Structure 1
Amino acid sequence: MDEKRSARNGDLVLPGDYLGVIEEYFPGEGVKEENGELYAIRAGKVRIDPDKMEISVEPVTDTPPLPQPGDIVIAKILEVKPQAAIVQLIKIEGRNDREIATSKLAGIHISQVREGYVEGMSSEFKIGDIIRARVIANEKSPIQLSTKGHDLGVIYALCSRCRAPLVRRGDKLVCPRCGHVETRKLSSLYRKLKV
């Protein structure tokens, strides 16, 4: 019977590779424990933190980012229902270099639109609006978002009548082409961000 060798700092490993035992290290990112033994769950380089007694596997490839709770995302409204809006995630703010690595669908429940009472979703969002939102939960699909906050909400919108870009006038949006006035859950960054 050949004895398993514990991984050393800097070793390249593949998913399923043996790294050591739980008595040696605590499992960190990219590591799982099975019956007291530690295994890599992704390809990468072994990193051992002697202070924390933790072993982890750092990816060697730049993997696409996963939206995490607290992340700010830019998304496009696909559907507006009575109690929720369905959006397509475009990017994670600050991670413009890579596409998102998960299903691109997310949802905003009516209770997460703004502080206070919201009568209906159709006065807060319209199909095609570009929004800035915070990820509040990602453990189930769709990812859950919130637009509660001064700088969260619609950042770009088109007139629902003539499709011209709307201009902000106080807390309303006005179409410079046809004069139509609309309401949205506006971000303080409306038309200030490059989309």
Structure 2
Amino acid sequence: MDEKKAIKNGDLVLPGDYLGVIEEYLPGDGVREENGELYAMRTGRVRIDPERMEISVEPVTDTPPLPQVGDVVIGKVTDVKPQVVIVQLVKIEGEDEREIATSKLAGIHVSQIKEGYVEDVSREFKIGDIVRARVIANGKSPIQLSTKGNDFGVVYALCSRCRTPLVRRGQKLICPSCGHVETRKLSSLYRKLKV
């Protein structure tokens, strides 16, 4: 039998997450039993009542938000393809800088990288770059982003040779360690945001 990780009081769970077995706990609110195993029915925090030996899932009222069209998001580049850059969203910018609900993937199409023609997407973004972008469509997966505009683009990047944080010099990035020069679709906020 495969090892299921032990659930603790206060753990955040998603619908369908394994919580334990019927021998350990009685299914409480927000929990369903299936073949002797207990699963979460909603997103929330695990509550274990040791006296009644009951496990329940308390709904989370402050559910982390999903990015909406017009939102400014921060994300990490996970893949660079000829026509699109894949970004793992980290947070939505704003007064409360909230983390994003799920590990949402987003895409920046080549036509949305910057004004004008993009010759080579890999000269604009590299895997591991931290980017600031605007959500332009969220109806289907992945969410669509744009980095057109001065404040959008790469805000933090590492040297592709030695992984040292790159320093901005004009429109180029220079590695203070090995001297390697790289290009990116830079944001005017490069290394000015805490990421």
- TM (norm. structure 2) is 0.67
> Is 1:108 aligned to residue 113 of structure 2?
no
- Whichever residue aligns with residue 68 of structure 1, its letter is Q
**Cα RMSD (Å) of the superposition?**
1.6
> Is 1:139 aligned to residue 143 of structure 2?
no
1:151-178 Cα offsets, whole Å, 9 max, x none, are 0000000000000000000000000000
Query: Runs in 1 of length 4+ with deviation above 2 angstroms?
Result: 95-99
Corresponding position of 1:175? 175
Unaligned runs of 5+ in 1: 1-58
Unaligned runs of 5+ in 2: 1-58
Q: Pick closer, same or farther for the CA change 1:60–1:74 going to 2, 3 Å.
A: closer
Helix, strand or coil at the partner of 1:100:
coil
Offset at 1:99?
Answer: 2.8
1:109-162 Cα offsets, whole Å, 9 max, x none, are 000000000001100000000000000000000000000010000000000000
Q: What pairs with 1:46-61 in structure 2 (closer than 5 Å)?
A: 61=61
Q: What pairs with 1:146-161 in structure 2 (closer than 5 Å)?
A: 146-161=146-161
Offset at 1:101?
Answer: 2.3
**Aligned equivalents of 1:112 and 1:181: distance in 2?**
24
State percent identity of aligned pairs.
Answer: 80
Q: How many residues in Structure 1 have an aligned counterpart in Structure 2?
A: 137
Helix, strand or coil at the partner of 1:85:
strand
**Aligned equivalents of 1:97 and 1:137: distance in 2?**
20
Offset at 1:98?
Answer: 3.7
1:16-73 Cα offsets, whole Å, 9 max, x none, are xxxxxxxxxxxxxxxxxxxxxxxxxxxxxxxxxxxxxxxxxxx992221110000000
**Aligned equivalents of 1:160 and 1:60: distance in 2?**
41
Corresponding position of 1:83? 83
8 Å Cα contact 1:69-1:138 kept in structure 2: yes
Offset at 1:103?
Answer: 4.8
Helix, strand or coil at the partner of 2:134:
strand
